[in-house]
Amino acid sequence: MDPFLVGATIAVALLIGAGLHRVWAGPTVFDRLVAVALVTANGVVIIVLLGAVLERPNLFFDIGISYALLAFLLPLALGRYFEQQIRERDAARDSDRDSDRDSDRDSDRESNDDAATRREVSP
């Protein structure tokens, strides 16, 4: 085992830990998605380094490529899902605002009608 490869593997493992912290504490969903992409990319590097350390690079390279493909698709799918959820939430919020405006207009009309009726009735 090459000590340099072992040290590099440990260093990348520490970077994965930092990325997991960002996944956990990310202020927004999209920050968390970027952190997931970072963690998965570092995971591919760890798989390749383990292949070099264990002197079985062909097997680990194939596993790393497969994992990289899945790691590429996961943030794309999750980003699309969360973007759709945000759009639906914003559309619901806009429709609530429109209904609130309509109800405010109706109440204003009713109060104006009441005021006009009082003016007509009073001598």
CA distance readout (Å), 30 to 3, 16, 22, 113 = 37, 18, 11, 50
Q: Each residue of 36-76: pLDDT tens digit?
A: 889 999 999 999 999 998 999 999 999 999 999 988 888 88
User: Residue 82 in 3-state DSSP?
Assistant: helix
% of the chain residues with pLDDT over 70:
80
Gap between the Cα atoms of 119 and 121, Å rounded: 6
pTM over 0.75: no
Q: What is the mean pLDDT of residues 102-113?
A: 60
Which run of H or of E encompasses 15? helix 3-25
The single-letter DSSP state of residue 56 is -
